[in-house]
Structure 1
Amino acid sequence: MSTGSEFDGPPAAAPSGDAGQNFLSNLLYNPMDSAGAQKLNEGAQQFKALAENGSFAINEEGFAAYQKVCDKFLDGYSDMSTELLFLLRRAKMGSSDYAKQVSDFNVKVAAGDEQSLIPNFELLKTGFEQVKEALAIARKNYNATEDSHQQALSKLHGEH
């Protein structure tokens, strides 16, 4: 049965020519696998570079909305980080060879390589931190542009 909602497909593309909006619209596109976590992290770096170069600005309302998303992830990460460390310890599952293999496998899934759970959560954390930094810069860009426009309008109004 189709409900009209697709959670596993890509989100609708943002209009071309708005790189910041393109990144934001894809912010949460399947970040729960290694490739998705890497994509989010790379996108966050590019997003920050756009903001630093003055190519992206965001108003207070947009800033607050995206800041809330970032904070929700980062707060959840902080709450979960201690619990994630427990996954690094071999669980006591019995003394049979099979129990030891399962226990070792669980540790490997948690942190055995860069495609494991913990490294990908850390990569997501870094990405969301970079998005927050980019948003702060983009809000500054927006405020500077608004101030500049306000000054220009004041000069025009004063000249007439």
Structure 2
Amino acid sequence: MLGDAQAGRWAVDEETGIHLRSAIVTMQHRLDQLAPRVGFLKQAPKLGNDEYARTVAEHMRAAMDSDDQSLVPVFEALREGLESLRQALDTAVRNYDAADEAATRHLGQFKE
């Protein structure tokens, strides 16, 4: 969406942009509050020092942060995606404002 907005293929009026931006920012704040907890999922839990406990702990850690479909990377991708969406929305509002201004100038020629 950011690429489309930057290329001028997406525009949104200010009023709609305010509501969308509010929803995005609210979600970003909620995810920011969860981030420290998610950070703990990158660590193996302390289950003990014997070999079995270490194996189980590493398995639990790997289940949360072993590939791009695990919870931790998906959470981080969501945070990045929301930031990209917020930037796209800001650009789309500017696109709408610029198009509106250009139309007003163009139609102003016909007043005279």
Asked whether the two chains share a fold, i.e. TM above 0.5, the reply is: yes
Residue equivalent to 1:57: 11
Partner deviation per Cα, 1:95-144 (whole Å, 9 max, x = no partner): 56554443222211221122211111111111111111111111011001
Residue equivalent to 2:77: 123
2: distance between equivalents of 1:133 and 1:94?
Answer: 45
Residue equivalent to 2:87: 133
Calculate the TM-score normalised by the size of structure 2: 0.86
Question: Quick one: which of 94, 109, 112 aligns to 1:155?
Answer: 109
In the alignment, is the contact (CA less than 8 A) between 2:42 and 2:72 conserved in 1? no
1:81 aligned onto 2:40 = no
The CA deviation at 1:78 is 1.3
The CA deviation at 1:69 is 2.3
The CA deviation at 1:54 is 0.8
Bigger Rg, structure 1 or 2: 2
Question: Quick one: which of 98, 106, 111 aligns to 1:144?
Answer: 98
2:94 aligned counterpart, secondary structure? helix
Greater RCO structure (CA 8 Å; 6+ sep): 2
Aligned residue pair count: 112
Q: Point out the more displaced range, 134-143 or 73-82.
A: 73-82
* Structure with the higher fraction of residues in helix conformation: 2
Alignment gaps of 5+ in structure 2: none
The CA deviation at 1:94 is 4.3
